[in-house]
Amino acid sequence: MVSVKCYKMNQYSTTPNSVLQRDEVLDIKQATGILKRRIGIILATALLVFTLVAVVTFQQTPLYTASARVMIDVRGKDVTNIEEVLAGVSSDATAINSEVELLKSRELAKKVVTELQLQQNDEFNGTPPPPSFLDTLRSQVTGWIQSFLPQQTSQPQQSPPETEDRALERITSIVLGGLEVQRVGATYVIEILFTSKNPDSAALVANQFAEQYLLEQLEAKFDATARANDWLSDRLSTLREDVQNSEAAVELYRAQSGLLSARGASLTEQQISDLNAQVVIERAELRGAEARLQSVEDMLSRGASVDTIGDVMNSGAIQELKQRQSTVAQRKAELSTRYGELHPEILKVDREAADLAQQMENEIDRIVQSIETQVQVSREKVRSLEASLNSLRGELAQNNQSLVRLRELERNAEVNRTLYESFLNRFKETGEQESLAEADARVISRALRGGKSAPNTKLNLAAGLLLGVALGLILAVALEVFDQGVKSGTKIEQAIGIPFVASIPRLYPGIIGKLRKLLGKATPPQDYVLEKPFSSFAESYRTIRSAVLLSTDAKDGAVLAIASALPGEGKTTSVLCLGRVSALAGSKTVILDCDLRRQTLTKSASFSTKRDTEPKGLTEFLNGDATLDDILMKDEQTNCYVIPLTANSNSPKDVFTAPGFDKLLNELRKQFDLIILDTPPILPVSETRLIIDQCDGVLLLARWGKTKKSALVSANDILRKLTAKPVGSALTQVNFLARSSSGYGDYYDHYSAYRKYYVD
């Protein structure tokens, strides 16, 4: 008899650091393994996405894009050089970016829509195009879904008719949606791109945007000029009135203050100047007259001859009297030669001479009086002129005080006049600028017939393929991350630290295998080990048996519990197959059905056992109603013994803690080499722990790809508290073909190389 001896492989020690590192670091081999395992998902996802992208691409309406280019002209063209009134576009980046935004403005787009009358264009006015395949499919699916929904009894409200303004705004939004404006590098060139369903419309709209942009610049300059002219005109009117009022105030104050001017000087100053000249002249004449008078009086007082007095001799009357005296003296001389002094002729001549002398004296007196009169007149005239001059000088002093105010008024008038002339010149300049203004940009490339821009079939298909592969990879990684099902012995060892024994292949995998099972043509696993003893399926159980033998000594029979964390992980099948393989190998083997609730082993083993008496099972023995010979049934094909459960075995009593169960195991150890127990799952059934605690060893099973690592960890935590030591772990229902190409990191990766040793 033999007993189980558990492996000395540090089953319950912590996982080595190297294992942790291999588990945490996704190396190339692991990545390749993921690709191999999930290649179907990746390809299916890529194909699905590629197909959807292709269908959408081929169903899309082609779009065409046309390009027009304008260049900001930074050269000066303002011949009148009026930067203050109309400044051109600056050449810095901010100004050019502002022009780009201007080209994308809504107001400019409205002008384009109005100019091209896009309200009449079916592409922009909302006329629906013919439905595509996707539209038809979408409407059919929507109708099919709505057919399952309750019908609406209320009438749908009709929307009010669209106004022209709203239509214009809607079409403008559509046009802006197809517009793209961008600066070409660091140049002064702006590119205008427009996308449309019609290549001619794309070129037409792009060119119209360029033209409207230039017109917008001209209109802006004209508007600026007009506003400047209007403002200047109003300002000139005000300034003209200010000049007139200020000049009128100057003249009025000049008149009121007597500050009249002539030849650049005031009248008072002119009068003073004239009077000064006259006073000088009159004083000179007065002094001359006084000198003549004094000279005459002096000469007369000295008894000077008349001939020596110039003013007397200058008189015509004196000269005439002198001539008459000369004539009388000549006559007297002639008469004296003939007559005596008493001659009447002589007396007559003497009287005539006396008369002339008297006249001479009278004339001299008159001349002296005339000179005196002239001196008096000159003196009065000088006195009068001096009085007038003094009066004018007083008036000039008063005028000089008033001149301060006058100059202030004149300065105000001059300032108003200068400002008025400046604005008048600017008004004339802006008037000239209005006829000379030009746009600050020019079209350097007009848009031609638009080229196809969307859909880019090649790019879309390539992107669809890449996107599909990327999504497939993401899905594969997500499935790998969220897939907690164990699929390799390495994962089991990393998760719970129990050595991995074998992988049990799945019989009849794939769709064909499922069809064979449905048609009843699939051989049960317990018979498969008999029909094909050299198959990989049978070999896996021989591997488990070898692991059990290597872990035991030869004293007594070994009690081995076949356990799992959850139901449906292949315990019953494994118990039957391992029992038959062990019996065929020459070991005396018995299998027990310890699952009181489901009794799956009993149902599966009944085909090969024979009962000659009333059926009795494990519970009857434990209750003392049967002996060991009564409950032992033999499989005639393999000589493997079975202890079943009867239909009434399910009992609320805890039969496995009774002394009968321990007694049964001791008797079985004496008669059999290997006792295999089919136990309920560890996690949901508490009695399983009582069963395993009385065994020598336990084999923990996990279903390939289904059993989660967390369940294994929880089951292992329970096993660590029990007496039975783990013999090892095994994977059931493994798809070897899928696993060998999926890179799970154990020797089954090489299944394709050694499968020829098996006969399946």
Residue 17's pLDDT band, with cuts at 50, 70 and 90, is very low
Please give the helix or strand (H or E) that residue 736 lies within, else none: helix 736-740
User: What count of Cα atoms within 13 Å lies in the side-chain half-sphere of residue 522?
Assistant: 17
- pLDDT reading at 264 higher than 80: no
- pLDDT reading at 309 higher than 70: no
Residue 47's pLDDT band, with cuts at 50, 70 and 90, is very high
Residue 45's pLDDT band, with cuts at 50, 70 and 90, is very high
Q: Helices 709-719 and 489-496: crossing angle, nearest 10°? A: 50
Rounded Cα–Cα distance for residues 522 and 616 (Å):
31
Question: What is the residue whose two structure tokens read 């008469």?
Answer: 335
Listed in sequence order, the residues at least 6 apart from 126 whose beta carbon sits closer than 8 Å to its beta carbon are 170
Mean pLDDT of 543-562: 79
pLDDT in tens, 226-236: 777 778 788 87
Rounded Cα–Cα distance for residues 515 and 702 (Å):
25
pLDDT in tens, 412-430: 888 888 887 887 887 777 6
| Cβ 547 vs Cβ 664: under 8 Å | no
Rounded Cα–Cα distance for residues 279 and 385 (Å):
6
Q: Average the pLDDT over each of 193-207, 643-657, 684-698 and give the range with the smallest value.
A: 643-657
Greater confidence (602 vs 134) lies with 602
Angle 571-577-579 (CA atoms, 0-180°, nearest 5)? Answer: 100
Residue 310's pLDDT band, with cuts at 50, 70 and 90, is low
Strand partners, 635: 609, 640
Q: Average the pLDDT over each of 491-505, 650-664, 719-733 and give the range with the smallest value.
A: 650-664
Q: What is the pLDDT of residue 128?
A: 57
Question: What is the residue whose two structure tokens read 């038959």?
Answer: 580
Please give the helix or strand (H or E) that residue 353 lies within, else none: helix 344-436
Rounded Cα–Cα distance for residues 365 and 572 (Å):
190
Mean pLDDT of 319-341: 78
pLDDT in tens, 291-308: 777 777 777 777 665 555
- pLDDT reading at 612 higher than 60: no
Q: What is the pLDDT of residue 7?
A: 38
Q: What is the pLDDT of residue 52?
A: 92
Greater confidence (328 vs 435) lies with 328
Listed in sequence order, the residues at least 6 apart from 742 whose beta carbon sits closer than 8 Å to its beta carbon are 33, 36, 37, 487
- pLDDT reading at 123 higher than 70: yes
- Per DSSP, the residues of 556-617 read S-EEEEEEESSSSSSHHHHHHHHHHHHHHTT--EEEEE--TTT-HHHHHHGGGB--SSS---
Q: Average the pLDDT over each of 522-531, 552-561, 696-705 and give the range with the smallest value.
A: 552-561
| Cβ 725 vs Cβ 497: under 8 Å | no
Q: Which two tokens stand for residue 151?
A: 């019908």
Longest dimension (CA), the chain: 245
Q: What is the pLDDT of residue 15?
A: 44
> Is the overall model pTM greater than 0.85, yes or no?
no
